[in-house]
Structures are given as C-alpha cells and as structure tokens.
Structure 1
Amino acid sequence: MMKINHCTFPGDILYDTENFVWADIRRDKRKANIGITSILGYISGKLSVIKLRQVGSYIERGKSFGTLESPRYFGVVRAPISGRIIEVNQAIIDQPELANDSPYAEGWFAKMEISNIEEEIKNLQTIESCYEKMATLIQKHHIICFGAFPDYEMFQIGVECAATLAELDELLEKIAIGNVVHLVSDDTTADLEMVRWSEQTGQSLLETRKEGTLFHFIVKKIK
C-alpha cells in the first residue's frame, strides 16, 4: 500500500488517472477486476445508487460501463481497459457505500475478459509512476481521505465548541450505530474538547487531523 496525502493506493494494481479507475489484471487468465479509486469515492460522496452494464457487454477503454449517484453527485464510470464484462459485483448494487468504504477490495465493480492484455497495460500506470499525478488530483479536488469514510458531515466554522458538541449529540441521536461523522471546526480548543467529549459520551473518536486552521474529526457512533 502507498499513501498519498492520507489517501491509500494498493501497489499491485494499475491505474487510469484520467478517469479515477483501476484494473487488477491477471495475465495468466486474461481477466481483470476493475473499480473506482478512493479519489472518485471522495469526489462523489457517500454513494446511494450504482448501476452497471450487463454481463456480456463489450466495453471499450474510456467508455461508460456504469453510473454513480449520491445526494450531491451523478456521473459515469469509465472503463480503464477494453473487454467483455463477465461478472458484476452484486454487493455494490445492494450496498453502494462499499465502493466508498473499500474501493480496492469488497467495493470492486466488475470483472472483465481482456482480448489484448499487453495493449491494455500500455494505457495504465503503476502507483509509483503516477504518484505525482495522484498528488496533484488530490490537491486539485480538495480531497481529504480518512481511515473511515464519513456518512455525515458537519462544518462548524465560527461556532464555539460547546454549541458544536450539542449539535453533534443531536445528530448522533438520529443516526444508526456504526455511522461515521466528519466534523470540521476552527475552534482552537476543539481537539481537547473532542477528547473530553469522547470520554464522557463513550462514542469513538477515530481520527483527529489539523489542516491549516481547521480541525477534522472522524467520529463513529458505537452506542
């Protein structure tokens, strides 16, 4: 695994940086699993609907093989390689958020049969060769990756920490156990207050990060 600005990229797959997709090519079987990168997952937000082309469809590289939908995003997913779809991952149809939570494992999209592996590989890059490009894309799209993908976001700029925590408590009362909240605050005491809040409430503070003047907190409801 390689980390670029906190975003994780496996080292054993190939990337199409223009379309935010990847391919795990198995040369011996002339097949490949394909999916979206964590960058596209964060651009789209928590996915609510994923639609994919049917098994048997032949897709050319760069053409759409599906669509993504979230409360803030709708877009197509473009194939990193040319080939025939031989399997789709029903799990992401049933649970689209898997593509956010585990984009390189459980959240894969489809399996394709490739006719010309050597030709397809020419159009893809290892993470080492596209490191700078990925870093540029993360910066361009203002991507901030975390260990757990947020289900909800709270931006509390110019709000005192006490008021922020009251709103956080209200939100946690409404959401399901296991849901994750990304909280952003510019209160200078927020890091200390969040630790105290976590100890008092028993809720999990998974991650704390400071970017410039802003604190980013990842909170998971566990009770």
Structure 2
Amino acid sequence: MVTESNCEIPENLLYYIEGKNTVWAKQESSDTILVGITDIAQTMAGKVVKVRIKKKGIKVEKGRPVATMESGKWAGPVPAPVSGEVIESNAAVEKDPVLVNKDPYGQGWLVKMKVNNPEELKQLYSGNNAVAKLKELITSEKLSCKRL
C-alpha cells in the first residue's frame, strides 16, 4: 500500500484512470473482477448520499457507467474499467452509500463483473504505473484524502 497525501493506493489492484475518474478493479479469477472507486475519487466526491448500481445481467461497455453516485457537491457516473456483464451488485452500498467513503477498497465495492475480453485487463494501470499516475492526479488536484 502506497500512501500519498493521506490517499491510499493499493498496489495489488488494477486502475481505470480517465481524467479525474479513478476506478479500481480487483481480479478475482481470470474473467471476474470486483469494481469500486478509489480513495481519491471518494475524497473528490465528498460524502456520498446516493448510489445507483446496474442490476445483475446488465452488459456494460468499457467506460460506460456501472453505477451513478451523488454527493453534496457531485453527481455522476462510475465507469466500467472493462467491458462485461454485472453478475453481482453491492446492495449494502445502495442502502448505506457512505460505505463508499468509509471503506472504498473493502465494504464500499460496487459491482462484480464477468469480463468479456480478458485482454482489456492489460490496458488498465497497475503497479508503479498506477501509483505514478494517481500521484500526478493527487498533486494536480492538491488533494489530501480523508475518510468519513
């Protein structure tokens, strides 16, 4: 785990980084991933008050929303890191959205996806590349992460 300006960046995850949108993916098997937002994303959003997650069976293209979130200062989509199908959504987060702020890499996960094309996983940022890219974002946004 790398910590930069209080922001946690687990090195064992894959990251989809598109502008200020930062999503993590944890590979559970060759074609299954867990998806959530990063510590950086939850800090930028502020206290999350509503989460709508795509239902099981919905197919999503890479970069298209797997969920939408609202906070006091932001509302927007959470992009899919790869193309695939939602096979499970985290009902606990829909009931208690602040889990995303409290534990973005644990209880705050959003969806489990079946990956259409495992090659797409190789296009995500990982290891040192991910850490460097996320540190750039933290610096450019002058962020200091905090959890609720």
TM-score band (shorter)?
over 0.9
Runs of 4+ in 1 over 6 A off after TM superposition: none
CA contact (8 A) 1:33 1:110 kept: yes
Taking the aligned partners of 1:97 and 1:145, their CA distance within structure 2 comes to: 15
How many residues end up aligned between the 2 structures?
146
1:20 corresponds to which letter in structure 2? T
| Matched-pair identity in % | 34
The residue number in structure 2 matching 1:14 is 14
> Residue 167 of structure 1 aligns with which residue?
none
Task: Return the letter of the residue paired with 1:99.
Answer: V
- In the alignment, the residues of structure 1 paired with residue 74 and residue 115 of structure 2 have an alpha-carbon distance, to the nearest angstrom, of 30
CA distance in 1, matches of 2:136, 2:144: 13
Equivalent position SS for 1:93: helix
The superposition leaves residues 74-126 of structure 1 with CA deviations (integer Å, 9 ceiling, x where unpaired) of 11110111110000000100110101111111000000011221x11222011
TM-score (norm 1): 0.62
Measure the CA separation in 2 of the matches of 1:71 and 1:8: 23
Structure 2 unaligned residues grouped into runs of 5+: none
Q: Look up the match of 2:133.
A: 133
Q: 2:112 aligns to what? A: 111
Q: Secondary structure in 1 aligned to 2:120?
A: helix
Q: Which amino acid aligns with 2:143?
A: I
Contact 1:56 1:84 in 2 (8 A): yes
Please give the secondary structure, in 2, of the residue aligned with 1:32: strand
Aligned residue in 2 for 1:84: 85
Quote the Cα distance in structure 1 between the aligned partners of 2:92 and 2:78. 17
Q: CA RMSD in A?
A: 1.3
Q: Which has the higher strand share?
A: 2
Letter in 2 for 1:31: T
> Which residue of structure 2 aligns with residue 37 of structure 1?
38
Structure 1's unaligned 5+ residue stretches are 151-223
Code of the residue aligned with 1:24 in structure 2: it is K
Question: TM-score, normalised on structure 2?
Answer: 0.92
- Asked if 1:26 corresponds to 2:6, the answer is no
SS in 1 for 2:25: strand
2: CA distance, partners of 1:31 / 1:122:
14
Looking at both structures, which has the greater relative contact order when contacts are Cα pairs under 8 Å and sequence separation is at least 6?
2
